[in-house]
Amino acid sequence: MFGTGNTKPRLGIDLAGGTSITLSAKSSDPKAINKSNMDIATGIIEQRVNGMGVSEAEVQTQGDRNIIVNIPKGGDKQTAADQVGTTAKLFFRPVLALAPSGLQAPAPSATPSTGATGTPAATPAATGTGSAAPSAAATAAGTGTPSASATKQGRPAGEALAADNTPSPVATTGAAASAAPAAATGTPSAAATPPANPDLSAAMTSGTVPPELAAQFAALDCSKPEQRNKNYQGADGAPTVACTQKDEKGLFYKLALGPVAVEGKNVSKAQASIDTQQGGGWQVQLQFDGKGTDAFTAVTGQLATQPDPTNQFAIVLDGQVVSHPYVRGAIPGGSAVISGNFGQEEAQSLANVLSFGALPLEFTTSDVTTVSPQLGGDQLKAGLVAGLIGMVLVVLYSLVYYRGLGLVSIAGLLVSAALTYSIMSLLGGGIGFALNLPAVCGAIVAIGITADSFIVYFERIRDEVREGALLRPAVQRAWPRARRTILVSDFVSFLCAAVLYVVSVGKVQGFAFTLGLTTALDVVVIFLFTKPLITLLARRKFFSDGHPWSGLDPKRLGARPPLRSTRRRNPSSSAAVKGA
């Protein structure tokens, strides 16, 4: 409508069918439940729902601790109900292989490259037979110098991970990894201790990607949304694959990731700041708790000895890679900084993700409402029938009681209905307003509010006619008194709707919103349509002469003739007195 393409209101779950899930936040720290964290949770839950393949889902906050998830008909309701309220999972995983996805790449060589120590390269190609081989761009040679493909294509993001108290230059390629003397040999440095996780240590020192993971890596196409948004990691923290989002060059990257090294819950603090020591760029500072410090120190020492891209540390949130900086050396002390080509918004977004992973913020499912499309259609039909019955009764009452003036009220109701329908259609596409069953009830109640405004004005006019005034003066004198009454009445209704909208949660807000909207439109209609229309009709003979079917017949209204005759006899009486 009006160029937006929205020709009808957007229907809510209870009318169109689907599932509505209400999540309530809880935390041992009351300060953790704030607007910032609720907004972050809303964004993550929205990504999670979209990752399930659900289209046109709505995720929005209501109140200070509730999140409403509306999944339309056709979505995977059971999966959504099981997963949407779970706490986001944040993990730090070592990168085993990395390659651009969705591009034509040269076939890999038959002979795997070897490092300086003779260890096979960390290529995603399987060591066994029959496994799929990925592109050569994913090959990470065991030498200290990364291959050309790894340098040019294997570095979609130039973030570097270093100790918080050590200046960390911005890296644009993986070549910085070769600067460390230990990296040239591919042998762990003496200072580095093996990770506490034996599976992680084996994956990082074996030099190959497991065959099953290699086949999954080769088949992954991150240019396809259904594959890019899928969460491939399981609950056991085993090696997996993941995708990055599109970079500034429009490329997607896929990664083969090792077992979980550090969990997000071990991040005690993360914040974005400006690096005043290295050119004033934006960076992300993070701190780990005791358990996270030990694991982080061990794994960074191990990663620093690896060639690019296996010297990278992927930060994975719900299966999506949000960053994968490379490691320059072991990072003890539990404090680290991620620096790179960050803007302020990117740095703050990454810090929020890291903080959210560490916050003790959980959600409980307080309400799940599932409506079948058939039941939703029946409810919509019942609501429309109820509205139509209400409209017909108002029209009949207006015609019987007000006769010709009833046509004015009917025209006003039609104008109000057209405006309400148009605005709801626009709001459906503009702000995502969905018309639910309580909102339909609010629209039905609004019929009475609109009709009440007409009645107030009509009765004021008829009062003036009863007093013996002609129609045109009666219309002008009745308006100020009627206007005050209408404004006070509509203000009270609008105030009630506003208070109800603020304090209510869920579908009741739909009723309050519609009631407030139609009340505001009633003022517009009565001022800009009804008043001018009656002013014009007062000039017509049918109404000005008080036709019996006009609704303004003085005899029918019980106008007092003695009052009129007294006014007419006053001049003659005065003349008689003067003549005497």
Tens of pLDDT, residue by residue over 261-284, are 888 878 888 888 888 776 668 888
pLDDT score, position 5? 55
Q: Give the pLDDT confidence of 498-526 residue by residue, as tens digits.
A: 999 888 766 788 889 999 999 999 999 99
Of 232 and 138, the one with more pLDDT: 232
Q: Give the pLDDT confidence of 170-229 residue by residue, as tens digits.
A: 332 232 332 232 332 233 333 333 334 444 444 444 446 888 888 889 899 988 888 887
pLDDT score, position 20? 81
Inform me whether the pLDDT recorded for 482 exceeds 90: yes
Inform me whether the pLDDT recorded for 253 exceeds 80: yes
Residue limits of CATH 1.20.1640.10 in the chain: 372-567
**Of the candidate ranges 56-60, 72-76, 196-200, 358-362, the one whose mean pLDDT is the lowest:** 196-200
- The closest alpha carbon to 243, from 124, 105, 100, 119, belongs to 100
Residue limits of CATH 3.30.70.3220 in the chain: 18-84+364-368
Inform me whether the pLDDT recorded for 13 exceeds 80: no
Residue 315: enclosing H or E segment and its boundaries? strand 313-317
pLDDT score, position 231? 80
Inform me whether the pLDDT recorded for 401 exceeds 80: yes
Residue 459: enclosing H or E segment and its boundaries? helix 437-466
DSSP assignments along 8-48, one per residue: SPEE-HHHH-EEEEEEEEE-SSGGGSSHHHHHHHHHHHHHH
Report strand pairing: 240-244 vs 252-257: antiparallel
Q: Give the pLDDT confidence of 289-300 residue by residue, as tens digits.
A: 888 899 888 888
Of 527 and 180, the one with more pLDDT: 527
pLDDT score, position 479? 93
pLDDT score, position 505? 66
Fold of 372-567: Multidrug efflux transporter AcrB transmembrane fold (1.20.1640)
pLDDT score, position 447? 86
pLDDT score, position 484? 93
Distance (Å) of CA 147 to CA 56, 114, 151, 153, 172: 43, 12, 6, 10, 15
Instruction: Provide, rounded to the nearest whole percent, the portion of the chain with pLDDT above 70.
Output: 69
Q: Does domain 18-84+364-368 have CATH number 3.30.750.24?
A: no
Of 241 and 127, the one with more pLDDT: 241
Q: Which amino acid is at 43?
A: G
Inform me whether the pLDDT recorded for 349 exceeds 90: no
Task: Give the side-chain half-sphere CA count within 13 A for 172.
Answer: 1
Q: Give the pLDDT confidence of 531-574 residue by residue, as tens digits.
A: 999 999 988 888 888 888 888 888 887 776 544 444 445 554 44
Q: Give the pLDDT confidence of 81-137 residue by residue, as tens digits.
A: 555 655 567 788 999 998 888 654 443 333 333 333 333 333 333 333 333 333 333
pLDDT score, position 557? 78
Q: What is the mean pLDDT of the chain?
A: 73
- The closest alpha carbon to 155, from 258, 251, 279, belongs to 251
